[in-house]
Structure 1
Amino acid sequence: MNQIAGRLRIGEKLVLGFGAVALIFLTVIWHDQRELRAALEQHRALHLLAGARQEAALAIERHLIALRDAEARFLVARDPLQAERVRREGAALLDWGARLARIDVPAEAAAVAIRASLGDYLVRFGEVEAAWHRRGLDHDSGLQGDFRASAHALEARLAQWAPALERELLQLRRREKDYLLRGADGYAVLVEHIAAALAQGLAAAALETEERVDLERLLEAYLRDFRALVEQDREIALLREQMDRAAAAVTPLVERALAAARARLEETVQAIDTASAERARRNLYLALAATLVGTLLALVFTVRLVRPVREMAGLLDRLTYENPRQRIPTRPGARDEIDAMARSLNTLADHRAIFSHWWRNAMAEAIALRDLQLAETPGAEDAARARLRRANRERARRLRVLRARCMHQLERIRTLARAPAARGRAERDRERAVLRHASESLATLLQLLDDPLPEPRRAEVPPGRGDEGGSC
């Protein structure tokens, strides 16, 4: 694993690190989306079954209310448009009943019962509507129109031929109107009594025979039409009772269908809520685990990147004030920029140590030569010679170290020269960088060998020879 990591660049490591974290969170998102799709499927099933069942039941209830409202308006105002509205709402109810029957088997049973009861109701309403048409939808139509014409004819003839009986006629018309307004049978009985009294008054009145016969005929026509109207009202009342019973049979069926739809909806919603809560818990645990793993990965990558940078910062800080022996560990063949920076910094530290030792040795040699030149006694001269020999030995040792370093750089150049040509651009760039660093390091080391020995007459040797250098 370390070898693979060492062959990757910083950008590649960052891409891999963030890619791994992104892959973890993408996995979490994918899992969450899958759970969301499962919830959507459940809600779709809820909409298709329980929702459709409740929708049909609510529509049936809504149309039933509209139908009863139109029925009530027709019975009050006898408006043909309201009768047409009753039939239209009934057709809509039958259509929704057919939709309810297509949902599932329990709904089909309820829909069949609703459609049967509704069909019976519509038949009864048709009979009531036909009875009202026979009675008359207004004062001038049907039996009501005939009765009104008879009443007006009787009123006109009586006012012309027997004004003394107008009081009884007014009482008759008043009770007649009471009946027409209230529909109570007691007013119909009063109309019969007053008509009988009016007939007796006609018999006792001083009228021509033809006039009396005409008035009696008009009174008889009035009573005939009034009795037909009363009989028609009784038939309408009976038909209304049958229609109300049919409507009463529809309403509980609709309510039961609506209650069943609500119960099914609540049961499905409860199941979906339970499943959603369980999925939410799983998603939360998965998100927490993904966050923890992602954080650990981020920490690992951060530590692996920051630790060598911190070590390089510490080495640079010590290089500012001292000549440290510590070096940053590097991996052979590594391609990342941090490792390259560590190798360059190690080379800088090596060059600084070489230059520092070389400068110190040159200074010691120069001082020994100066002391030897200025020695006044044999003892001082021997001590100066001893220091000069030590300086020469140290110089020779340093030369051997330089030779070894030069051979090392030459070996790097030879290795690259013998290696097959790189195919990739990155490999070629890396080889060029290694060649450049090796050649510059070799030039820097050879520059030290070009420095002349210090002259005996010079008291000190200027430091800092060969400060230009490459990286090893």
Structure 2
Amino acid sequence: MEKVWSKFRIGEKIGLGFAVVGLLFIGVVWHYHQTLQSVLADHRQLQTVFEVRKSLALEIEIEMAAARDAEKDFLILRHEHFADDVDQHLQVLRTKVTALAAVDQQSRQTAEQLQRLLTTYQESFRAVTEAWRSIGLDENSGIQGAFRQKVHRLQELSAQYYVDPLYTVLLQIRRSEKDLALRRDPAYRERVRTLIQEFRQLVHASELRAAVKQKLLSELAVYARTFEPYAENALKTGNVGGGMGAFRDAAHRIEAILRAHHVPNLETNVYKLRRQEKDFLLRGDEAYVTKLVDIARTLRSQIAASPLSETDKALLAGLLLDYQQGFLQLVAQHASIVTLTREVDAAARQIAPLITANVNQANQMMAARVEAITESSQASVRLGMLSMYGALALALVFVITLTRRIVRKVRQMAGLLDDLAYGAPTARVPTLPGGRDEINAMAESLNALLEHRANFLDCWKTSINGLPT
């Protein structure tokens, strides 16, 4: 080592010392730069992987909640735009899930599961929407609209066979007519006249067919015209002829017309049908279906037993049958919707935990990664400080070693020079042959000087000793 060290000049040694110290500090700076780059890379990964995953997980959760809200709005209000909203939210969801799959391998696995579940959910919801479209999204569309048209027509026709008020007034007319014959009180004639006018108004206000109205009004005119002479004779002479006459025949013909267009409780039972229908649509209870079928059976029996014409009976029975079949078809479709809705809920319930787990996993991984980055940064800082202290220590050791090697020989030579000034030194400064060190050259020169001085002194002493005394 000493031979190698002697090959360098003092300036080279000093330069080498500065170079070594510089390299040590360059190493410290490089380590600091690497630590900084590592921390930046960790934070970049945190932003590009974990933060993105967490953000996408939250966005997926929000979009799924919005899709479920739109689904519930559709099932409650059955507006077409809510179904479109569900499809739009699911489209956005698929975009978010695709972005999640590009984050990392674990996210890709979660995204694949989500895509499958979203497909199941969307297909189930579309089946529900199609079933509701088949039933009818409002009262005028689908199965519901079709059977409502039938029952509305049935209601219109039932009004044509609602003659109870007319029949009641006719009975009051006949009663007042008989009271006149029994009591011969002019008040009963006035009452008959008033009731005739009331009967005429009821005919005009009724839903009877125009031909039937015309028959009733014609017979009522005959009754009114023929009743007046009968009433006048009854009041003046008391001769009522047993209450018979043309007016009586007209009243019988009016009664026959009313009976021919009367089905007991037809309109009332139609309204009862509608009530059971509305109760089922409102509550979905199968008991209302049974009640509606029973009422329809009663109605058919009443129509069959009525004095209506066969054509009218067939029309009413056909409308009633079409209404009942349409309603039962709606009931069957409603049961299908219940099953499909359960499938939608089941699919959504499978999606929700996966989304929640994805959010929780993203939060946990992000927290763990932040903690790991913190620990790694602290360890890098500690290592950087140790590296800096080590570099300082090595530089100090190197400088001290270099200085000591230079200063030690200089001191030796200074001591020899002192000895040379005041005595005859015998010690020599250690040197290395061929060394390029200036101190080594000085030592060699000093050693040569000491040798020459010693030789000179020896020669001088010999010369002195050889002289004659």
TM-superposition CA deviations, 1:252-309 (whole Å, max 9, x none)? 2222222221221111011123234456778899999xxxxxxxxxxxxxxxxxxxxx
Structure 1 portions without partners, runs of 5+: 1-26, 289-472
Question: Match of 1:238?
Answer: 339
* Deviating more after overlay: 207-216 vs 147-156: 207-216
Question: Which of residues 266, 276, 286 is equivalent to 1:165?
Answer: 266
Q: Alignment identity in percent?
A: 33
Distance 1:277 1:147 in 2: 77
Distance 1:139 1:287 in 2: 84
For the structure 1 residues 169 and 35, does the alpha-carbon distance in structure 2 shift closer, same or farther, using more than 3 Å as the test? same
- Alignment size in residue pairs: 266
Question: Match of 2:364?
Answer: 263
Question: Match of 1:131?
Answer: 131
Question: Are positions 1:204 and 2:305 aligned together?
Answer: yes
Q: Is the 2:150–2:319 Cα contact (8 Å) retained in structure 1? A: yes
1:236 Cα deviation after fit: 1.4
Q: Which runs of 4+ in 1 moved over 6 A?
A: 27-34, 280-288
Structure-to-structure mapping, 1:157-306, within 5 angstroms = 157-162=157-162, 164-278=265-379
1:86 Cα deviation after fit: 1.0
Question: Match of 1:51?
Answer: 51
TM-score with structure 1 setting the length: 0.51
AA aligned to 2:134 is: R
Question: Match of 1:104?
Answer: 104
Distance 1:49 1:205 in 2: 81
SS of residue paired to 1:138 = coil
Distance 1:283 1:137 in 2: 72
TM-superposition CA deviations, 1:106-165 (whole Å, max 9, x none)? 211111111011111111111111111111111111111102111101111112124532
TM-superposition CA deviations, 1:311-346 (whole Å, max 9, x none)? xxxxxxxxxxxxxxxxxxxxxxxxxxxxxxxxxxxx
Structure having greater relative contact order (Cα 8 Å, sep ≥ 6) = 2
TM-score with structure 2 setting the length: 0.52
For the structure 1 residues 284 and 185, does the alpha-carbon distance in structure 2 shift closer, same or farther, using more than 3 Å as the test? farther
AA aligned to 2:156 is: A
1:205 Cα deviation after fit: 2.5
TM-superposition CA deviations, 1:9-64 (whole Å, max 9, x none)? xxxxxxxxxxxxxxxxxx99999887555433321111111112212221211111
SS of residue paired to 2:85 = helix
Q: Is the 1:154–1:219 Cα contact (8 Å) retained in structure 2? A: yes
For the structure 1 residues 287 and 73, does the alpha-carbon distance in structure 2 shift closer, same or farther, using more than 3 Å as the test? farther
1:204 Cα deviation after fit: 2.5
Distance 1:287 1:135 in 2: 81
Question: Are positions 1:118 and 2:118 aligned together?
Answer: yes
1:203 Cα deviation after fit: 2.2
Question: Match of 1:90?
Answer: 90
Distance 1:32 1:178 in 2: 79
Distance 1:29 1:69 in 2: 58
1:215 Cα deviation after fit: 0.9
1:222 Cα deviation after fit: 0.9
Question: Match of 1:64?
Answer: 64
AA aligned to 1:206 is: P
Structure 2 portions without partners, runs of 5+: 1-26, 164-264, 390-469
